[in-house]
Amino acid sequence: MDMSGLPEGANINNIEIVNDDSSAAPRNLEGFSPYAAYVARSEEIEELISLTSISYALSQQLLLSTPPEQLTDITFDNSTSERRSFSMADVAIGDILGMSAGWLLYEEYAQKTGRNPQDVANQAEAGLLGPVRIRPPDGAPVILWPPESEREADFKAPEIGFRSIKLNVVVKAKVAADLTFDPSDPVQAEVAQKHFLKLASSLGEVDKVVKRAEFLLFRAAFLLQWTSFEVFLRETIEELLVRHPQVILDSAGKKESLSYGQLFSMTNKLSSIESLRQELIDMEIERLRSNGRSIHGMINFLKSAFRFKRDPYKAWYVYKGKRHEATYSTLIDIKERRNILVHEASDARSAILGKEGQGLSEEEYVKYILALRSVAYSISSSVHFKKYEVQASNGPA
C-alpha cells in the first residue's frame, strides 16, 4: 500500500488511512505525467533487478549441482560466420615470426619433432632424415629443416649457418556468437542448459562471480535510477515553465537578450511562438544543469522560483519498519556515491583488474531509491495539487 501521504511523525505501524479528502490520505499523482513516467521507469528497473537476480540464483544453483566433467565436452567452435558479431575495436592483429627453413643441430631437430636426440642422430647418420651437412665454424653435423614431406613446392634451402624466417599475421577478434535453441524441445533444452552453464563456469569461481554480478547489477540499476530522477526533475521544471513562462524572465534576468538571428531560428523562421517557448524552456533547464549541481540546482530552482509551500527536502520513507528522513544531505550522500560509482565504472585499471572498489549493497540501494522516490513524490504532490506560487509580481499559480 502506498502511504506516501501520511503526516510527518505518524506511527507507521498503527496508522489508519482516513477519507480521501483528508490531508492524511495518500494522494494519487498519476495525473501528473512527469511523476507517472518516473514511477513507470522505476518499476521497469526493479523488474530488471528481479529477473536478473532470479537468473543469478538459478545459475548458481545449477553450477553447484552440476559436476564439472559434464561440461568438458561443450565447445563453441561450430558457430558460423553469419552468427558472429563484433566491432572493429574487438579485432587484434599480431605478427608471429617463425622459422620456415634452416639447418638444425641434432638436438634442435629432436626438439622440433619431439623425438629422442640419440634416435635423431642414428636416423640422420643412416640417411633417413634427408641431407646432412657439416657446419663450418665448429664441424657439427646439421640436418635440413623442415622434413621433405613438409616442404612447399617453391621450397629453397638456405645456406648453411642461415635460416629462412616466415612472417605470419594472426587476426583475433572477440566474437559474440548467437546461440539459438528451442526451449520447448527437451533435447535442445538440455543442450542449451549445458552451453549456458559452460559460459557461466568460464567466468570464474561461482561464489566470486555471483558477488561480482550482484555488484554490477545494483551499480547499473542505481545509476539508471539516478538518471531517471534527473529526467523527472527536468520534466517537472518544463511542465511548470509551460504553465508559467513568465518565470523564465525572472530566472534568467532582465539583462538577458536574444539577437534577431536567434529569434529567427528559435521560432522556426518566425512561424511558431510555441517553438520559441520550448527553446527558451530548454535553454533555462540547460542553464540550471550547467551550474555543476544538477539535481540540487534544479530542486533549489523549484523552491525559489515557485515558492513551494512544503519544502521538497522534508520527505520521508520507511525501511524495514523504521522511518528515515530524505533530507538535503541525504541527496548529497546519494550524489557522492553516484559520482564514485561512475568514476569506478570509467576507471580502466579497475575494469581490467575486476575491482569493485566501493561496493553497493542491496540495503543501500533500496534506501537510496526510497529516498529519491520520496523526494519525487513530495515535489510532484506540491505541483500537482498546486501547493506553490510564482513570484509575487506575477500573482499566485
Are 244 and 310 members of one domain?
yes
Q: Tell me, rounded to whole angstroms, the distance of Cα 326 from its chain centroid.
A: 27
Q: Is the Cβ–Cβ distance between 80 and 174 less than 8 Å?
A: no
Q: Write down the pLDDT at residue 79.
A: 59
Asked if residue 6 is part of any domain, the answer here is no
**pTM for the whole thing?**
0.65
Asked if residue 224 is part of any domain, the answer here is yes
Q: Mark which of 185, 201, 217 sits at the end of a domain.
A: 201
| Residue 175 pLDDT > 60 | no
3-state class percentages of the chain: helix first, strand second, coil last, to nearest 5: 55, 15, 35
Kindly indicate the confidence band of residue 159, based on its pLDDT and cuts at 50, 70 and 90.
Answer: confident
Higher pLDDT, 377 or 293: 377
Are 223 and 361 members of one domain?
yes
What is the CB neighbour count within 10 angstroms for residue 288?
21
Beta pairing partners, 105: 142
Residue pointed to by grid coordinates 566470486? 208
Asked if residue 5 is part of any domain, the answer here is no
Q: Write down the pLDDT at residue 16.
A: 34
Asked if residue 15 is part of any domain, the answer here is no
What order do you get walking across the sheet with 132-134 strand by strand?
132-134, 141-145, 91-105, 163-173
Asked if residue 291 is part of any domain, the answer here is yes
Maximum alpha-carbon separation in the chain: 112
Are 304 and 186 members of one domain?
no
Q: How far is CA 35 from CA 5, 12, 138, 230, 282, in A?
A: 15, 24, 89, 12, 19
Q: Write down the pLDDT at residue 259.
A: 63
Asked if residue 14 is part of any domain, the answer here is no
| Residue 348 pLDDT > 50 | no
Are 187 and 140 members of one domain?
no
Q: Is the Cβ–Cβ distance between 42 and 50 less than 8 Å?
A: no
- Kindly compute the dihedral angle of the four CA atoms of residues 267, 269, 272, 275, in this order, to the nearest 10 degrees: -30
Determine if residue 354 is left, alpha or beta; phi over 0 gives left, psi from -120 to 50 gives alpha, anything else beta: left
Average pLDDT, the chain: 78
Are 179 and 111 members of one domain?
no
Q: Mark which of 201, 218, 248 sits at the end of a domain.
A: 201
330-338 — which CB contacts under 8 Å span 24+ positions? Answer: 330/371, 331/295, 331/296, 331/299, 331/371, 331/372, 331/375, 332/296, 334/226, 334/368, 334/371, 334/372, 335/226, 335/295, 335/296, 337/222, 337/364, 337/368, 338/222, 338/223, 338/226
Q: How far apart are CA 67 and CA 80, in angstroms?
A: 29
Are 236 and 371 members of one domain?
yes
Are 221 and 279 members of one domain?
yes
Q: How far apart are CA 146 and CA 391, in angstroms?
A: 91
Are 98 and 222 members of one domain?
no
Q: Is the Cβ–Cβ distance between 34 and 235 less than 8 Å?
A: yes
Asked if residue 23 is part of any domain, the answer here is no
Percent of the chain whose pLDDT exceeds 70? 71
Q: Residue 316 has which C-alpha cell?
A: 520521508
Highest average pLDDT, of 177-181, 197-201, 321-325, comes from 321-325
Q: Write down the pLDDT at residue 36.
A: 93
The mean pLDDT of 346-358, rounded to a whole number, is 49
| Residue 108 pLDDT > 70 | yes
The mean pLDDT of 263-290, rounded to a whole number, is 67
Q: Model confidence over 63-72: pLDDT tens digits? A: 888 888 888 7
Are 215 and 132 members of one domain?
no
Q: Half-sphere exposure of 32 toward its Cβ, with a 13 Å CA cutoff?
A: 26
| Residue 218 pLDDT > 50 | yes
Domain count of the chain?
3
Q: How far apart are CA 41 and CA 39, in angstroms?
A: 5
The mean pLDDT of 330-334, rounded to a whole number, is 92
Asked if residue 4 is part of any domain, the answer here is no
- To which H or E segment does residue 326 belong? strand 322-326
Q: Residue 107 has which C-alpha cell?
A: 638436438
Higher pLDDT, 338 or 77: 338
Are 287 and 378 members of one domain?
yes
Q: Write down the pLDDT at residue 81.
A: 67
Are 196 and 218 members of one domain?
no
- Structural domain boundaries, residue 303: 33-63+204-394
